Amino acid sequence: MDSSQLNLFKKLLPGLLPVFVFILVDEFWSTEAGLVVAVVFGVGQLGYVFIRERRLDRFVLFDTALLVALGGISIALNDEIFFKLKPALINVIFCAVLGFSAFSRKNLLMIYTQRYIGELKMPEGAEKAMQKTMKMLFWLMVVYTGLIVYSAFLMSKEAWAFISGGLLYILFGLFFAWQYIAAKRKQKSNLKNEDWVPLVDEKGNITGRATRAAVHRGPGMLHPVIHLHIINSKGEIYLQKRALHKDTQPGKWDTSVGGHVDVGETIEQALLRETSEELNITGIRPVPLIQYKWETNIESELVFSFTALYNARPVINKNEIDEGRFWAVSEIKNNLGTGIFTPNFENEFPLLLKMITNRT
């Protein structure tokens, strides 16, 4: 159960306190004394909320008024059945609102909550999850309301007092606990399906691990990545155009191969795997170019950059790359600073240019 649902129930449950006060006083003294004390308690609640929050607690007001009405009828007719049915009547109203909110497109409970305790900011997808929870809660409350009616007519006063009072908190407690355990299990299951990457220090020593999603939420979680620059015998550099669905730098021209190192992989293993996955190239002999720390507002990377000689035309993986081709050095120079290349590539290009110049 999310925080918005929990906040709602925290606000609604205190409104039921007057009836619990009545049950307690009635048990030790009398129905009349219980009614007086419960009404005083309800008025006190109203005053406390008004002084503290400058608002009239409508739910407590409704509960107290209903207590007076049905309690008065019970005393006048000398028949406590009217009073015993009060919690069931409240629950019928609550079930009607809950059921309409759960099974229709108009969430009355959420609208009421926003007016009652202020605007709620719901995370993406949370409203759908809340509606699913409300469906389960609706059936729970229907059964509970039926149990109150049954206890009012066919069970002892003590049994009715427990069912209409303490049992509600027990049921809500069990329901919240079950929701919490289910959410934790789902979270754990989702984590098992996540891609995990190692965390490292600036020397490359492994210090821990995190999910790929986590390391892309901002700088600070330093993780290793590999870059490979493929250069042919003409001195041309092969560049890939990043797919538009990529988290970082979508649609820009980048190094021939780039990717994260997975947990349990060496740098060399990651390099060969990514080269095979993205360009269907195997059997290359990579040469180290540079190792450096690269930090953006999205992530912190420890980059291991390599070069390799390769003359054939790579066969790109369309799921990873939009397109790829060899670029002449002069063509790259003419487009530097125009925004078509990734900052990483432009950062490494001077080293590539120096290496190509020395080779020729």
pLDDT tens profile 292-325: 999 999 999 999 999 999 999 999 998 889 999 9
Q: What is the mean pLDDT of the chain?
A: 81
Rounded Cα distance between 146 and 75, Å, is 24
- pLDDT per residue over 80-98, tens digit each? 676 677 678 767 767 877 7
What residues pair up with 119 in beta bridges, in sequence order? none
- What would the pLDDT profile of 126-180 be if each residue is shown by its tens digit? 667 777 888 888 899 899 999 989 998 899 888 888 888 788 888 888 988 888 8
Task: List pLDDT tens digits, range 245-264.
Answer: 887 889 999 999 999 999 99
Angle between helix axes 157-164 and 17-28 (nearest 10 degrees) is 160
Closest CA to 286 of 305, 301, 260, 264: 305
Adjacent-strand bridge partners of 277? none
Tell me which residue has tokens 């020397």: 203
pLDDT, average across residues 180-190: 75
Residues 6 or more apart whose CB falls under 8 angstroms from that of 152 comprise 81, 84, 85, 88, 160, 164
Query: SS in 3 state form for 177-219?
Result: HHHHHHHHHHHHHHHHCCCEEEEECCCCCEEEEEEHHHHCCCC
49: Cβ contacts below 8 Å, ≥ 6 apart? 55, 56, 57, 60
In this prediction, residue 75 has a pLDDT band, given cuts at 50, 70 and 90, of low
Q: How far apart are CA 263 and CA 53, in angstroms?
A: 52
Q: Could you say which DSSP state residue 80 is in? A: T
Domains of the chain: 3-192 (no CATH), 197-359 (3.90.79.10)
